[in-house]
A and B are shown apart, each in its own frame.
Chain A
Amino acid sequence: MIKRIFDWLIQPLGLIAVGIGFLAVFSLAAYGINSTQLAPTQPIEFPHDKHVNASIQCLYCHPGAAKGPAAGIPAQSKCWGCHQQMEITETSELLAPLKEAVESNTPIKWVPVVMVPDFVQFNHRAHVAGGQNCENCHGDMTKVTVAENPQVFNMGFCLNCHIKSAGDDHEKLVKLTDCGTCHY
């Protein structure tokens, strides 16, 4: 039985079948891996690059990063504060959902892009106060339109930076490499 299958496989038609089968599996895997790397679709294609290039600070829209654990996503009232004074808001098609949301007073359902892994407690405030810039973890926002996550947040990434920033300070190193600093 096995010999008959093998005989069929080594003839030209069989080899082509093996090739197609291999390609199908490979492309499915490639598609699967690729789809995990794509940024999620947002209700509004928010261009981070335009806002950052207009010299708006990160902390203007995400003020929570300097105050507490979560950076936060701004409410539409904050968008509207600037956008109601701008002519483009009336004409642009991309901004129509914002206008609609403000008029009907329904919140925009933004999709979170960067997730802290399970079992980890993360505090933005300590990192901002410690002199870390936003782009150290979140990438250069002058080049992206819809927010994407350039960095895989795993323990190696965190610990590398913790060890580097502790330097020769032994007490700081103990604190920054302690399990209980992040996991509880």
Chain B
Amino acid sequence: MKTDLNMMGAKGAIVEEAEGKWGMVIDQDICTGCQACVAACAMENNISFVGEEDAGYGRTQHWIRIERFWEGEYPEVKMTPNQPMLCQQCGQAPCEPVCPVFATPHSNAEQLNLQVYNRCVGTRYCANNCPYQVRSFNWRDYHIDRFHANKVDGKSVYSFHNQFNPDVTVRRRGVMEKCTFCIQRIHKAQDTAKSEGREVVDGEFTTACAQACPANAITFGRVDDHESLVSQLSHQKGGVKHLEELNTLPRVTYLKGG
């Protein structure tokens, strides 16, 4: 995305033009940390379960995770609100310029950070340069690797073969993957809307995490449409964008202490 540098302050102030297209608001005050979004995301996007051994190496694959922090010293420990962390779909993403094969381009049409799996060669440079640590790497073919399959009656049973989402690519070993803001749902909604000859309505569809959230802490929609719920929520007082000072122009707003 081309951004006029004159419109940005020293702290990378958000300007209207840099607002992006799709955005998300996460209300940390009503998030209970139940992990329903994490499960829903894994189901929707064919994310692998890595198993105990690889999880021990820190190779877990999550496109969204719940972060927990503590305040104060030991006897007086106080937990801060749960913080769901997912790809912020930065307007100026640090992961993008470092890819040597341009496998993580910026979508000009949807204003998202993409990951093109068949172009990725697995240098993991993007994950190392991501300030939010939200990219995950496929260390193995978890869905076909017979050395990591569960055994039932002596036969290998591969995790959830029958419930892969046909709209999402099943990633192979050696590629990076990340949250796509459920781009398959975006395309499906746009396709349905176009076949009916109308525009996509706010709230017509949502991401898997927002759909699964029992507390409705996650809201997804068009941030450039000022009538939409997500746009109004993101302009509330107390809205925080993480690591804004790095000038990444994140698209996810966190509401806390409201």
Name A's B-contacting residues (CB within 8 A). 118-119, 121, 123, 125-126, 129, 174-175, 178-181, 183-184
Contacts and interface: CB of A to CB of B under 8 A. Distances in A.
Contact of A178 (B108, B117, B169, B180): B108
Given A121-B184, A179-B105, A184-B168, A129 B114 contact: no
Contact of B109 (A121, A181, A183): A181
Nearest to A176: B109
A126 B107 contact: no
Which 8 pairs between the two chains have the least Cβ-Cβ distance? A119-B118, A178-B109, A180-B107, A175-B109, A180-B114, A184-B183, A174-B108, A183-B116
13 contacts: A126-B191, A126-B194, A175-B109, A178-B107, A178-B109, A180-B107, A180-B109, A181-B109, A183-B116, A184-B114, A184-B168, A184-B180, A184-B183
Contacts of A181: 109, 187
Contacts of B168: 184
Contacts of B108: 174, 178
B195 A129 contact: yes
Contacts of B145: none
B167 interface: yes
B112 interface: yes
A111 B148 CA distance: 33
Contacts of B195: 125, 129
A119 B110 CA distance: 19
B interface SS class:
loop
Contacts of A180: 107, 109-110, 112, 114, 180, 183
Nearest to B180: A184
B70 to A, nearest CB: 37
B4 to A, nearest CB: 19
Interface residues of B, number: 20
Contact of B194 (A118, A129, A183): A129
A179 B116 contact: yes
A175 B109 CA distance: 5
Contact of A123 (B105, B109, B112, B191): B191
A118 B169 CA distance: 8
A121 B110 contact: no
Nearest to B107: A180
A66 B13 CA distance: 46
Contact of A119 (B169, B187, B191): B169
A29 to B, nearest CB: 27
Interface in B191-241: 191, 194-195
A183 B184 CA distance: 10
Nearest to B168: A184
A184 B177 CA distance: 10
B107 A179 contact: yes
A65 B110 CA distance: 25
Task: Identify which of A118, A178, A181, A184 gathers the most chain B CB atoms within 10 Å of its CB.
Answer: A184
A178 B195 CA distance: 21
B238 to A, nearest CB: 32
A183 B112 CA distance: 13
Given A121-B167, A180-B114, A184-B183, 20 more contacts: A119-B117, A121-B169, A121-B184, A121-B187, A123-B191, A125-B191, A126-B194, A129-B194, A174-B108, A174-B109, A178-B107, A178-B109, A178-B110, A179-B105, A179-B116, A180-B107, A180-B112, A183-B114, A184-B168, A184-B169
B183 to A, nearest CB: 5
